[in-house]
């Protein structure tokens, strides 16, 4: 990752690219989260990346927000993942090729909800074998219905993704949120490497290992089903006027700390 220096000799702000288009509908909240956390955020239609008018390598973080890409007509995230994997760019490579190079340069890519579904179908999560072969999937909730609610989550002691918060609530909005792994080998490696960084305390969808959030082995690819961008201030919570689980008794919601931690991590790398 190259440092970008301004005329005063200071390192410029972290830049986050927020992808939209084809049914993605949480881009404004995602951009707001990055800006609140101290980064610059640019929302762009994915077709602008395919056409070459936007270059992901000019950013530090690429994010795929939640929504219903291509209406979830085949399976959630599948069509968008196939376009990223197979659509040829001007270079004759694919956007997946560019994303792999982007990660290899030390940059981050995150997917929330539908974005998480895209990352698993691309094989970027958990990517134990390092070949971007699909090793996990997000399938229909055990309840058989769409869930729009707040859910309890817990952060393992070894994880710092939420800046010291351990147990709190986040909103979920999904019909296909049950995370399943391809086989016992993948499941074992996820446990061994500690890739399950966020777990449900009530498992609303039946996910294996109670998994609500997953990283790859590099820690540069991050996906989760709950929506941290929808809980940036305590006033987003339905019980905003009461003490909330795991809160720091300030104006921020738990989701803010995820983005703050991510931006600070990138700043440390750039420094």
Catalytic residue positions? 113, 227, 229
How far, CA to CA in Å, does 218 sit from each of 100, 106, 167?
Answer: 12, 9, 25
CA distance 255 to 153: 12
CA distance 46 to 84: 9
Indicate the burial class of 44 (C-beta count within 10 angstroms; 0-12, 13-18, 19 or more).
middle
């Amino acid at each position: 990752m190259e440092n970008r220096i301004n005329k005063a000799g200071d390192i410029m702000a972290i830049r986050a690219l927020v992808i939209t288009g084809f049914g993605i509908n949480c881009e404004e909240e995602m951009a707001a989260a990055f800006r609140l956390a101290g980064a610059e955020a640019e929302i762009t239609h994915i077709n602008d990346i395919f056409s070459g008018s936007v270059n992901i390598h000019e950013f530090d973080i690429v994010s795929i927000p939640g929504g219903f890409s291509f209406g979830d007509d085949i399976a959630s995230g599948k069509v968008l993942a196939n376009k990223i994997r197979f659509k040829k760019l001007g270079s004759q490579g694919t956007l997946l090729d560019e994303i792999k190079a982007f990660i290899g340069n030390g940059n981050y890519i995150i997917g929330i909800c539908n974005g998480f579904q895209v990352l698993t179908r691309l094989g970027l999560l958990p990517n134990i074998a390092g070949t971007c072969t699909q090793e996990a999937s997000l399938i229909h909730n055990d309840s058989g219905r769409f869930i729009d609610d707040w859910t309890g989550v817990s952060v393992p002691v070894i994880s710092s993704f939420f800046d010291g918060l351990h147990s709190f609530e986040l909103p979920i909005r999904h019909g296909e949120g049950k995370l399943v792994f391809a086989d016992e080998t993948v499941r074992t490696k996820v446990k061994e490497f500690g890739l399950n960084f966020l777990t449900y305390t009530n498992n609303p969808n039946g996910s294996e290992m109670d998994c609500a959030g997953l990283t790859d082995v590099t820690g540069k690819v991050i996906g989760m089903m709950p929506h941290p961008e929808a809980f940036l201030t305590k006033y987003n919570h339905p019980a905003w006027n009461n003490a909330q689980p795991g809160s720091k008794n300030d104006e921020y919601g738990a989701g803010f700390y995820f983005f703050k931690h991510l931006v600070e991590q990138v700043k440390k790398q750039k420094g």
